[in-house]
Copies of this chain bind each other. A is one copy, B any other.
Amino acid sequence: MKHQQDEASRQEMMAKAIALAYANTAKHHGKPFGAIIVKDGQVIATGVNEVVATCDPTTHAEMQAIREASRKEKSTDLSGYELYASGQPCPMCLSAIYLANIQRVYYGYGEAEAAEAGLSTQYIYEQVALPMDQRDVRLQQIDPSCSELKPLEAWSRHAR
Contact = CB atoms under 8 A, between A and B. Distances in A.
Interface of A: 10-12, 14-15, 18-19, 21-22, 24-26, 29, 31-34, 51, 54-58, 63, 66-67, 70-71, 73-76, 84, 86-92, 94-100, 102-110, 113-114, 116-119, 123-125, 127-129, 136-144, 146-147, 149-156, 158-159
A148 to B, nearest CB: 9
Nearest to A130: B129
Contacts of A21: 149, 151
Given A54-B71, A99-B124, A117-B156, A139 B32 contact: no
A54, A143, A151 interface centre (most CB from chain B within 10 Å): A151
B66 A146 contact: no
A99 B57 contact: yes
Contact of A57 (B96, B125, B127): B96
Contact of A140 (B29, B105, B119, B159): B105
Contacts of A146: 11-12, 14-15, 18, 108
B92 A70 contact: no
Contacts of A109: 144, 151-152
11 contacts: A11-B146, A14-B146, A18-B146, A25-B151, A32-B151, A56-B66, A87-B152, A91-B92, A94-B128, A104-B140, A119-B152
B102 A137 contact: yes
B94 A147 contact: no
